[in-house]
Chains A and B, each alone.
Chain A
Amino acid sequence: MREAEDRLSGQFARALAGDAAAYREFLAGLGALLRGFLRRRMERLPDDIEDLVQETLLAVHNQRHTYDPGQPLTAWVHAIARYKLVDFLRRRGSRQALDQPLDDEEEWLHAPESEAMGTKRDLAALLARLPDRQRLPIVHMKLEGLSAAETARRTGMSESAVKVGVHRGLKALAALIREET
């Protein structure tokens, strides 16, 4: 467990400094741990687990600027995962939302589950609903892997507008997920 946390912390530190490969490894490792954690917490809603894994990963991405490097990663991830789980259960009107235990911050580190399950929600379909000024930067930069400069040339937007579009678009995607469920 210690080991898992140290590995994730190291990857996340490099990711925050701009290392995309480390970030990808971090998200993959985190996704497996979140899946294991949510599988234990959502025994009655097995079909929703993968959707919530995705929603939580998106939240971690959107909020990664709120991580304080002086703070344990465990507590930060746990607070986000728990917040998203409770929010999801509440949206569903589930009484489970009221009795989610708080205490063990390391609980999510226990048993990773790397086998992804099926999703009910299609993020690609939600992405398609975003306005062009957000959708196009995401499609070009995040899905096709173009640079901000190239994306700016193709879309006729400024480079800073492209970056803002990606940032706001991913936040808007999280908001769409909340509305949908």
Chain B
Amino acid sequence: MKTDELIAMLATGAGAVDAGAARRRFTLALALGGTCALVLMAVLMGVRADLARLALEPMFWTKLAYCAALAGAALALAVRMARPGARASGAASMLAAPLLVMWLLAVVALGGAAGSEREALVFGTTWRACAFSIAFLSLPLFGGLLWAMQGLAPTRPALAGAAAGVLSGAAAALIYSLHCPELGAPFLGIWYPLGMLIPAAAGALAGPRLLRW
């Protein structure tokens, strides 16, 4: 087939293109993956019984805002990574902002705590389970987001996979917040990002294999 013939073939009957395809894929992946993660959390871990009391704690809302900000920045990053030639550096620095704020809060909390309390602030009572729980809840979101990426055109597949992983981890952390009893800034600054890093690393490894086009 000559190139002219290929061009004629591609152009023939090529209808209008739906500009919202990328947005729809990401929305669907987050909605379905998020619902699955929510059900997994509610059934296997359980929503906190004292949620009403927790809702009076400013740190609880800080935790939710922290996870939501990370998820928002990761979404902006993932959407850009899915489009050829889109600039991603701004979105990447948006990802750093909530982390820096939480680390600042952690330094303040640790500075104001007596030596014996510091360990409790860092490890809480659930540090062993935290990162793995977040990584576990991220699975349906991770699968959905890789599917979304597969229908788009990431030109840097390892980074695109990692961005999908961070996003699935941050959204999973938001859901895990409804189960997690921890409110210490040092805890949230360490174990939550660690939980997001697990799917991010998996995405970086899976990207070059699964996201070729």
Contacts and interface: CB of A to CB of B under 8 A. Distances in A.
Contacts of A57: 3, 6-7, 10
A71 B11 contact: no
A23 interface: yes
Contacts of B86: 68, 71, 75
Contacts of A178: 212
A16 B16 contact: yes
Interface string A56-96: 01110111111111011011111110110001000000000
A145 B84 contact: no
Interface stretch (A24-32, A39-47, A153-161): A24-32
Given A66-B152, A119-B2, A142-B9, A105 B17 contact: no
Contacts of B153: 59, 63, 66, 80
A16 B2 contact: no
Contacts of B3: 31, 50, 53-54, 57, 116, 119
Contacts of A101: none
Contacts of B16: 16-18
B103 to A, nearest CB: 32
A174 interface: yes
A54 B3 CA distance: 6
Given A57-B6, A68-B86, A78-B85, A27 B11 contact: yes
B134 to A, nearest CB: 30
B114 interface: no
A124 B85 contact: no
A142 B13 contact: yes
Interface string A140-157: 011101011000000000
A16 B155 CA distance: 21
B17 A65 contact: yes
Chain A binding surface, main DSSP class: helix
A10 B150 CA distance: 28
B12 A141 contact: yes
Contacts of A87: 212
B52 interface: no
Nearest to A146: B13
A138 B17 CA distance: 18
Interface in B11-29: 11-19, 21-22
Nearest to A59: B213
Given A63-B84, A71-B85, A58 B6 contact: yes
A68 B83 contact: yes
A82 B17 CA distance: 23
B1 interface: yes
Contacts of A28: 4, 7
Contacts of B69: none
Given A69-B19, A79-B155, A119-B3, 11 more contacts: A16-B19, A23-B10, A57-B3, A57-B6, A61-B10, A62-B213, A65-B22, A66-B21, A66-B82, A66-B84, A74-B85
28 contacts: A18-B15, A18-B16, A20-B11, A20-B12, A23-B14, A27-B10, A28-B4, A31-B7, A54-B6, A57-B7, A58-B6, A59-B153, A59-B213, A62-B213, A66-B83, A67-B83, A69-B19, A71-B83, A72-B85, A75-B84, A75-B85, A80-B84, A80-B155, A87-B212, A116-B4, A119-B3, A138-B9, A145-B12
Q: Which 8 A-B pairs have the closest CB atoms?
A: A75-B85, A18-B16, A79-B84, A79-B85, A24-B11, A123-B1, A63-B153, A83-B155
